[in-house]
Amino acid sequence: MTEDKRKKIYEGKAKILYKGPQPNTIIQYFKDDATAFNNKKFAVINGKGVLNNRISSFLMEKIEHIGIPTHFIKRLNMREQLVHAVEIIPIEVVIRNIAAGSICKRFNLKEGEALPRAIVEYYYKSDELNDPLVSNEHITAFEWANSNELEDIFNMSLRINDFLIGVFSSIGIKVIDFKLEFGRFYKDENLEIILADELSPDNFRLWDNKTNKKLDKDRFREDLGNMKEAYQEVAERLGVL
Ligand code: UDP
């Protein structure tokens, strides 16, 4: 089927979602677009989508293997993967191990400073409001998620963090921080919270263990150059190229 004939459900900054071939499935198409600072900065990085599709498919599968449910079904081709349709919870979950980005400004921390323990933060997904930091109270009071769902999200996020720290440490990479999204999925009439979206260097901060070289979207945010090469290095070290 050509791209144009399919029903487009949604186009985001880095991905396009099409209606999938079976009921309640979606095709995620990974674009080469790179955006930062709420769309203020934009570039096309040739081949980024292919790398992110590979990296994300690989990590989602690994996470599924440790018993955490994800929306991932299978990689279809260079740029596309088949996933379960979910109702996205409008929260960006950020897990931090080492200070970088917005937490440095907020608490006057030095980039690269180890945090006392992994910290889980929630941001409300809203471009209009610039994704504000929110607390459990806001999430449950405004009914973006209930307290059971939030507990699942918190526990899964820490397990994913522990697991990914291990995966990346074995290839000489430090997981500084990353963003997750979760969705509601109906399975045999039961409602389940599952991991959704993607796991790629667009949503992670990854530094080389020895040199602290940035292997993630900060290369674009901070104009460091060689963004594609950095993503490629992550993919190569993970053994997915
Ligand atoms: N992040 C993301 N999408 C966002 C905001 C953040 O994927 O809309 C990721 C980002 O790549 C980083 C982590 O979440 O790995 C923490 O980001 P931070 O809050 O420091 O914000 P930033 O400095 O990226 O604006």
Phi, psi angle pair for 210, to nearest 5°: -90, -45
Q: Are residues 78 and 91 in the same domain?
A: no
Residue 241 lies in a domain: no
pLDDT in tens, 199-218: 999 999 999 999 999 999 99
Atom 24 (ligand 1) nearest CA: 101
Residue 219 Cβ contacting ligand 1 at under 6 Å: no
What pLDDT does 188 receive?
85
Mean pLDDT of the chain: 97
pTM above 0.75, yes or no: yes
Inform me whether the pLDDT recorded for 145 exceeds 60: yes
The enclosing domain of 221 has a CATH number of 3.30.470.20
Task: Give the Å distance between the CA of 92 and the centre of ligand 1.
Answer: 9
- Which contacts (CB < 8 Å, 24+ apart) does range 118-123 have? 118/158, 118/161, 119/95, 120/93, 120/94, 120/95, 120/154, 120/157, 120/158, 121/93, 121/94, 121/95, 121/96, 122/91, 122/92, 122/93, 122/94, 123/91, 123/92, 123/94
Q: Are residues 122 and 193 in the same domain?
A: yes
pLDDT band, very low/low/confident/very high, at 2 (cuts 50, 70, 90): low
The residue range of the domain holding 37 is 3-84
Task: Give the Å distance between the CA of 205 and the centre of ligand 1.
Answer: 8
Residue 84 Cβ contacting ligand 1 at under 6 Å: no
Inform me whether the pLDDT recorded for 1 exceeds 70: no
Q: Are residues 64 and 140 in the same domain?
A: no
Based on the number of CB atoms within 10 Å of its own CB, is 70 exposed (0-12), middle (13-18) or buried (19 or more)?
buried
Residue 207 Cβ contacting ligand 1 at under 6 Å: no
pLDDT in tens, 149-190: 999 999 999 999 999 999 999 999 999 999 999 999 998 889
Task: Give the Å distance between the CA of 5 and the centre of ligand 1.
Answer: 34
Mean pLDDT across 83-109:
98
Residue 102 Cβ contacting ligand 1 at under 6 Å: yes
Distance CA(9)–CA(216), nearest Å, equals 28
pLDDT band, very low/low/confident/very high, at 4 (cuts 50, 70, 90): low
Pocket test for ligand 1, best of 128, 160, 179 (most atoms within 8 A of CB): 179
Number of separate domains in the chain: 2
What pLDDT does 65 receive?
98
What pLDDT does 87 receive?
98
Q: Which of 67, 84, 101 is the last residue of a domain?
A: 84
Q: Are residues 73 and 161 in the same domain?
A: no
